[in-house]
Amino acid sequence: MLKNFNFKNVKKKNFSKVKLVGYAFRKANLNKTTFSKSNLEKIDFWSADLEKVNFKETILKNCILSDTDLRKTIISKTNFLNSNLSHSNLSGLNLKNSTFKNVNLREAIYDNKTIWPKKFDPSFFGATKIKKNRNKLKSKKSSQFINNVVNELKNKSGFYVFKNYFSNKDVNKAKKIILRVSKIKKDLAFSSDKKNNQKYILNLIALDDIFKKLIQPKIVMPIFEKLLGKKFICGNFCANSLFPGARGQKPHIDYPYMNMKNIYKKTPPLNFSNEIILNCQTMILLDDFTNQNGATEFVPGSQKFKTYPTQKAFDKNKIQLIYPKGTLIIFNGLAWHGSSSNFSYKERVAILGQYLPFFITPMSNLKNCLKKKDIKNLDSGLRQLLGIDLVHPVQNLRY
Ligand SMILES: [Fe+2]
């Protein structure tokens, strides 16, 4: 039985240069108490008030510091061994001269002012870095903006346009690579089948780093996280080029909804949920979309119908998305859309991205087009989108 000081007021006490074993200070107020140069073993500080508590040159072995706010605790040359610091707050601390061995930092937080010992990776032990909201107004505005776009995709038009979002430099670079890889035969017979004039490139992220940028537009990621949940993934990311004479695409809704189409022969399905969204799409225009070159056709608000489109209903309500190159369009995969044909004499190139909750099996295994060494170097956003650390099922029940 631990010596019990739970909920007690133990502040300003001096426990320096002693060996303490088996004390419980749960929820105790230890304000300004010193444990400097002490050897602490099996001490339970769960949720204790450790403000200005002195742990200078202290050894904490098998101790519990869960749910403590350590921001104003004196930690210097402190030795944490086999101890539990889960859910603690380590923001702003200089821990450079302290040591951490076999510690539990699950859901502990720290910030960019926290200095960790050399070669110590807090995230490996479960800690999370938090960002300070330097500008609260800015952050409030941005969360308001995110909510507005989320609402637009769910309950209003079903799409949102970021006009001229990508620079000419990025767009031209991406397009040049796509055209090089497309290898479309320039001298197609005048009357050749029009399907030869349309081309998908599926392995974009393996082609150049520019596509690793385009697959995760900064502005879109927090919006998709709200719509698709944490750990959402990218199920397909490809170029869709309509060369001159290419036929359009019939109206449809996107994967995984489209796979339910054939279950219903006569009546369209009516039970798709718009509460939990199973697909959001990005479309990046690498050419100006015009009413002649195969601009996307879209029925605003059709995500609310929760049905597969008929050509007749689609034609009656569609609009064309006519925007300049560099524009980024996002939309709800339940919304009716398709593309018109390219009647112009120039190509019309776009990049399409498909984003899904982590529990949906993606259409493409995007990580398979990367080499092992490239996967190692991916940033955390791409690791998430490609599902690198994703395990299905989540629980491993091997007994
Ligand atoms: Fe589509």
Domain ranges of the chain: 1-132, 145-385
CATH superfamily placement of domain 145-385: q2cbj1_9rhob like domain (2.60.120.620)
**CATH architecture for segment(s) 1-132:** 3 Solenoid (2.160)
Tens of pLDDT along 41-88?
Answer: 999 999 999 999 999 999 999 999 999 999 999 999 999 999 999 999
C-alpha–C-alpha distance, residues 294 and 344, integer Å: 8
Distances from the Cα of 165 to the Cα of 29, 79, 396, angstroms: 53, 50, 42
Ligand 1 centroid–CA 363 distance in Å is: 13
Tell me, in angstroms, the distance from the centre of ligand 1 to residue 249's CA.
9
CA–centroid distance, 337 to ligand 1, in Å, is 6
What are the pLDDT digits (tens) for 326-359? 999 999 999 999 998 999 999 999 999 999 999 9
Cross-strand partners of 348: 242
Tokens found for residue 146: 């995110």
* Distance between Cα 338 and ligand 1 center (Å): 6
* Ligand 1 centroid distance, CA of 146 (Å): 23
Using a CB cutoff of 5 Å, list residues around ligand 1, an ion. 254
The predicted structure's pLDDT at residue 264 = 47
Name the range with the highest mean pLDDT among 248-257, 302-311, 319-328.
319-328
